[in-house]
């Protein structure tokens, strides 16, 4: 079933790419494995998935012990006291939402002699999503974080507001893409989940984070 779901998801990605003339190979498919079992995760890996997203450090640590050869992405809110473990496990931390957190990640990465890939989590709809950096505050944070030698800023991540229709997310995604284009065109955009990934790809997503469409 997981295998079928992945095939279906990839077909949907291919279909929307054809529509907007994008290369499907350029869209990274991240399987979000929070609350999923080791067996389920092994299922997605057998189906060719190489990148996994988790939103709790503790859970990721446990899974990391038994699942090797994949890249782990932190997609949930990261607490200061979990940074040390997070830097050990995650190839990419997508949820950098404050300068304070960025500095802590940098400090722990330095101890491990690691250059930590990170994304800034942006709050594109202040009234509707909880975590993330306000768009107005982003330039200043980017400037400060750029000075941290053990962080590699790779782009922006965002969660669309919950809505009945994926179309509702479109203007938010578009706004984020415009912001990315203004700041750094080569940065990646991590946007799009099970309910809205097609719209996200149309609006320029480079990485979709899919949970339910793969596992349910
Ligand atoms: C759970 C989660 C996802 C996946 O959501 P689905 O709707 O199950 O596809 C993506 N990104 C983040 C940050 C998540 O917490």
C-alpha 67 chain-centroid distance = 20
* Phi, psi angle pair for 162, to nearest 5°: -70, 130
Which is it for the CA torsion 31, 174, 91, 140, positive or negative?
Answer: negative
Question: 127 pLDDT exceeds 80?
Answer: no
CA 184 – ligand 1 centroid, Å:
25
CA 157 – ligand 1 centroid, Å:
12
Structure tokens at 141: 């944070």
Question: 162 pLDDT exceeds 90?
Answer: no
Over residues 36-71, the pLDDT tens digits come to 999 999 999 999 999 999 999 999 999 999 999 999
Q: How far apart are CA 146 and CA 149, in angstroms?
A: 8
Distinct helix (H) and strand (E) counts, the chain? 9, 9
pTM, 2 dp: 0.97
Task: State whether the beta carbon of 170 lies less than 6 angstroms from ligand 1.
Answer: no
Task: State whether the beta carbon of 160 lies less than 6 angstroms from ligand 1.
Answer: no
């Amino acid at each position: 079933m997981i295998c079928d779901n992945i095939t279906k998801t990839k077909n949907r990605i291919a279909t929307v790419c054809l529509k907007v003339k994008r290369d499907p190979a350029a869209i990274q498919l991240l399987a979000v494995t929070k609350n999923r079992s080791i067996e389920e995760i092994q299922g997605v890996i057998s189906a060719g998935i190489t990148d996994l997203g988790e939103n709790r450090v503790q859970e990721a640590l446990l899974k990391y012990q038994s699942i090797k050869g994949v890249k782990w992405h932190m997609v949930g809110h990261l607490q200061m006291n979990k940074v040390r473990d997070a830097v050990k496990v995650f190839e990419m931390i997508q949820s950098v939402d404050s300068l304070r957190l960025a500095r802590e990640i940098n400090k722990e990465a330095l101890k491990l002699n690691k250059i930590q890939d990170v994304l800034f989590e942006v709050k594109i709809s202040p009234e509707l999503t909880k975590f993330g950096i306000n768009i107005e505050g982003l330039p200043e944070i980017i400037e400060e974080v750029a000075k941290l030698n053990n962080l590699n800023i790779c782009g922006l991540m965002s969660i669309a507001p919950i809505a009945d229709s994926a179309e509702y997310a479109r203007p938010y995604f578009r706004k984020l893409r415009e912001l990315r284009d203004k700041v750094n065109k080569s940065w990646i955009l991590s946007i799009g989940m099970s309910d809205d990934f097609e719209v996200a790809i149309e609006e320029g997503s480079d990485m979709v984070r899919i949970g339910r469409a793969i596992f349910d």
